[in-house]
Amino acid sequence: MKFFIDTANVELIRSYYELGIIDGVTTNPSLVSKEDGSFDDIIKEISSFVDGPISAEVIATDTIGMISQAEELAAINRNIVVKIPMTKEGIKAVNALSKKSIKTNVTLVFSPAQALLAAKVGAAYVSPFIGRLDDIGHHGMELIEQIRAIYDNYQFATEIIVASIRHPSHVIEAALNGADVATVPPEVIEKLFNHPLTDIGLAKFLEDWKLRFG
């Protein structure tokens, strides 16, 4: 399973990218609005060192506007994947962009039917938001199981990005359910490294070594 980092913070992206565990980046308008600098500059800077898919989202909500913004974003770098919201206008835009070989990531997906529509028009990625489903009392991960089954039934090439990840168990369940990608916020990536027995075990090894060899 690929790991994308879900943030627009360039320094955080850089620090985790240097570890060799990050395959790509996802941003959204809320994440970008937390950072200094223009949207274009942030995306250009990320593209200068990340060699992998970088999702950047359109703000337009009409098909023509989405296509025009998508073309501008795609021109920034060959790794740009244009994030398009899951609406009727959005699906029309994805259909047109697929024909122009511009990669898209259909976002704000909350049902298997929406994921099916995105795949039918050739989206490169689909982003089901599982944490937000959990927040309203659903079991978000069931959506991943359903989309995986549907895509496998018909050999859709659209990759499933598990988004809106809140904790390490979401990452593990995403992998168990055959998701192609988990896009993980930095604070959750940090938690993936940790286990108290690792810390206790390392302290003991070093203590024993010190006792014997000084």
Q: Which residues are tagged catalytic? A: 83
One residue of 63, 114, 164, 177 binding ligand G3P per CB under 6 A: 164
Give residue for tokens 């898209």: 104
One residue of 4, 5, 6, 66 binding ligand G3P per CB under 6 A: 6
Residues between 66 and 105 with contacts to ligand G3P, criterion CB under 6 A = none
One residue of 3, 129, 151, 156 binding ligand G3P per CB under 6 A: 129
Residue closer to ligand G3P, measured from CB, 110 or 129: 129
User: In whole angstroms, what is the distance from residue 42 CA to residue 50 CA?
Assistant: 12
- Return the range that interacts with ligand G3P (CB under 6 A); candidates 40-48, 126-134, 145-153, 174-182: 126-134
Q: What is the DSSP string of 41-83?
A: HHHHHHHHH--S-EEEE----SHHHHHHHHHHHHTT-TTEEEE
- Terminus-to-terminus CA distance in the chain, angstroms? 43
Contact, 63 vs 35, CB < 8 A? no
Alpha carbon separation from 194 to 19, 90, 189 (Å, rounded): 15, 40, 10
One residue of 2, 14, 92, 132 binding ligand G3P per CB under 6 A: 132
Residue closer to ligand G3P, measured from CB, 131 or 186: 131
Does 183 participate in binding ligand G3P (rule CB under 6 A)?
Answer: yes
Does 63 participate in binding ligand G3P (rule CB under 6 A)?
Answer: no
Entry field: residues in the chain? 214
Judged by the rule CB under 6 A, the positions of this chain that interact with ligand G3P are: 6, 26, 28, 129, 131-132, 163-164, 183
